[in-house]
Amino acid sequence: MLILNPDRVRFGDIAWHDVLSIAAEAAPERAVVEWSDLGPHAAFADVPEVRTTLKVSRSPQADDLASVKPGQRGVLEFFTSPGADARRVRIEADCIIERTSCQFITGKGAVQTITLIALSPDGAADPLTIEPV
């Protein structure tokens, strides 16, 4: 899921301005694939451990010195930008900051990337809560 120019992005009590995009990725932390004695092809597969990551890309302000740190926990909340026909959607996730980085891109300026790990409340529910507004 890729949300461009999300609206009203907050991490806990912190409002993040000038957010360019938020990308949600789900990757296998551990996958199980099994074969039988009956042939060469996999007979079973599952992903018992999934890591859901959110990457927030934003343009940091010149006076934006107070930055989040790895290990910080908070609720990331943002809204999709309203389109002509599409409904606005609110997305929320309880997250831990994994890393932050900055780079300068010619033509774009400074871009800060904040990577968060989204947590499930009980290990079974999807970490992302998506609801129409």
Partner 1 sequence: MSSSFKSLDLFGSGPHRFYQGRQGQLLMLDVALGGFTPMSFALGLVELEVFVRGRLIALTESGLWSQRDAITAQLLHPPTPGTLIDLHGRQWTDMSFVRFEELDRTDRNHRRTLGYIATFRRMIAPEAAPEG
- Our CB check for partner 1 shows the closer of 76 and 118 to be 118
What is the binding site for partner 1 (CB under 8 A)?
32, 34-38, 43-44, 46-50, 124
Beta carbon nearer to partner 1, 4 or 42: 42
Q: Which residue, among 14, 98, 99, has the nearest Cα to 64 in the 3D structure? A: 14
**Rounded Cα distance, 69 and 75, in Å:** 14
Q: Please measure the distance between the N-terminal and C-terminal CA atoms of the chain and give it in whole angstroms.
A: 18
Q: How far is the CB of 35 from partner 1 (least distance, A)?
A: 6
- Interatomic CA distance for residues 80 and 84, integer angstroms: 12
Instruction: Give the separation between CA 4 and CA 26, rounded to whole angstroms.
Output: 18
Question: At closest approach, how far in Å is the CB of 46 from partner 1?
Answer: 5
Provide the greatest CA pair distance for the chain. Answer: 64
- Decide whether 18 or 49 has the Cβ nearer to partner 1: 49
* Closer of 18 and 126 to partner 1 (Cβ): 126
